[in-house]
């Protein structure tokens, strides 16, 4: 089922399609304003955009970028704005992949990209973390860059 949505983000409006999905997690997730703090950067080789990335190809970083993220599972919309940078993108909920909420980035991105959100249990302590991946595609629809980090409200 697809539903049309119209939702204001500041001075900008977003019009898109919501591909409704059955993934209803993370349990600690609520719609609203979040910060995405990058803590690992992908160092892999050319990979088709449709492939999952291998966790071993990410390297930890202490100088990662910081983004404000307006995220909604209910309406299927995402907006990312880099703090102290020029990156800005919006997107709509796509088909969820591997227990991750998946958003297709469709505006302000040269070719395309994805933003995925999932819940992670830290070291068996039962503490839930919300994690995210921002991946951008190159002109040949291969992964051009990817960053992982924590998503906090």
* Burial of 61: CB neighbours in 10 Å, binned 0-12, 13-18, 19+: middle
Sign for the CA dihedral angle at 38, 43, 44, 45 comes to: positive
- For residue 77, give the nearest of 22, 123, 121, 117 by alpha carbon: 117
d(CA 31, CA 90): 15
Q: Is residue 18 domain-resident?
A: no
d(CA 10, CA 24): 27
> How many residues does the structure list for the chain?
153
Q: Is residue 17 domain-resident?
A: no
* Structure tokens, 25: 């997690």
Q: Is residue 137 domain-resident?
A: yes
d(CA 133, CA 10): 24
Q: Is residue 108 domain-resident?
A: yes
More confident: 66 or 95: 66
Q: Is residue 12 domain-resident?
A: no
Sign for the CA dihedral angle at 31, 33, 38, 39 comes to: negative
Q: Is residue 49 domain-resident?
A: yes
- The pTM assigned to this predicted structure is 0.79
Question: Tens digits of per-residue pLDDT, 5-36?
Answer: 223 333 222 223 333 444 555 556 678 999 99
Q: Is residue 6 domain-resident?
A: no
- C-alpha 149 chain-centroid distance: 10
Question: Tens digits of per-residue pLDDT, 119-151?
Answer: 887 666 655 788 999 999 987 889 999 999 999
Q: Is residue 66 domain-resident?
A: yes
**Which domain, by its residues, includes 42?**
30-152
Q: What is the CATH number of the domain that holds 89?
A: 2.40.128
What φ, ψ does residue 104 adopt, rounded to 5°?
-85, 120
Q: How many domains does the chain have?
A: 1
């Amino acid at each position: 089922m697809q539903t049309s949505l119209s939702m204001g983000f500041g001075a900008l409006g977003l019009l898109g399609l919501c591909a409704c999905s059955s993934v209803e997690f993370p349990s600690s997730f609520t719609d609203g304003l979040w910060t995405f703090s990058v803590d690992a950067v992908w160092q892999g080789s050319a990979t088709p955009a449709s492939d999952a990335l291998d966790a071993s190809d990410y390297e930890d970083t202490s100088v990662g970028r910081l983004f404000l993220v307006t995220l909604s599972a209910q309406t299927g919309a995402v907006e990312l704005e880099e703090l102290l940078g020029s990156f800005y993108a919006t997107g709509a909920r796509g088909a969820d992949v591997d227990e991750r909420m998946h958003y297709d980035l469709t505006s302000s991105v040269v070719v395309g990209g994805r933003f995925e959100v999932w819940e992670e249990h830290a070291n068996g302590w039962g503490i839930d973390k919300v994690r995210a991946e921002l991946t951008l595609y190159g002109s040949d629809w291969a992964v051009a860059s990817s960053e992982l980090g924590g998503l906090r409200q």
